[in-house]
Amino acid sequence: MAGALNITIHIDVLDSAEELTREEKQAMQLAEEAANDAYAPYSNFFVGAALLLDNGTFFKGSNQENAAYPSGLCAERTALFAMSSHYPKQKIKLIAVAARRQNETRYLPVTPCGACRQVMSEYEFKQQMAIPVLLHGPDGKYYRSRSIQDLLPLQFTKDSLLEF
């Protein structure tokens, strides 16, 4: 064995909403609102995502399910693809995500799935600016990663396709 690659990731843990910036609070509120628009009749798991763009505007998305299960899409990718289709040149300053069960008001400590992390990584690489991700943590806390690199170390990016 040649050695080991020890990777450290950093996630800020915030005690309560009071520790969020104004923009973060707004983004999280919009993510929570977006979750109300989820179309999730199969999982009853309502997820909302809100993107804050460089120009100060917000973009929302929610999970969209389908009777042919794999045809559905997570809230994060729904928001990201819609945003990039409408505003291909805008940079993303922040992504907030909120998830709850259909008939519950409590937000769950949920982190984005692997496919969404990969898509976030693509846009972070594209815009050459870190994208922080804000999530509900356990016990009213919030988790904030400062870059997708912390959610997806050893990323497969455009550069991975180059010949070495």
- Strand order of the β-sheet with 133-136 is 11-14, 142-145, 133-136, 92-101, 45-53, 58-62
Instruction: Name which position in 24, 34, 83, 112 contacts ligand THU (CB under 6 A).
Output: 112
- Which tokens is 27 given? 């983004």
CA distance 106 to 97: 14
- Contact between 55 and 90 under an 8 Å Cβ cutoff? The reply is yes
CB of 110 to ligand THU, least distance (A): 6
Instruction: Name which position in 113, 140, 146, 156 contacts ligand THU (CB under 6 A).
Output: 113
Q: Kindly list the catalytic residues.
A: 76
Binding mask 42-81 for ligand THU (x = CB under 6 A): -x-x-x---------------x-x------x-xxx-----
Q: What is the DSSP-derived secondary structure letter of residue 138?
A: S
Give the footprint of ligand THU on this chain (CB under 6 A): 40, 43, 45, 47, 63, 65, 72, 74-76, 110, 112-113, 116
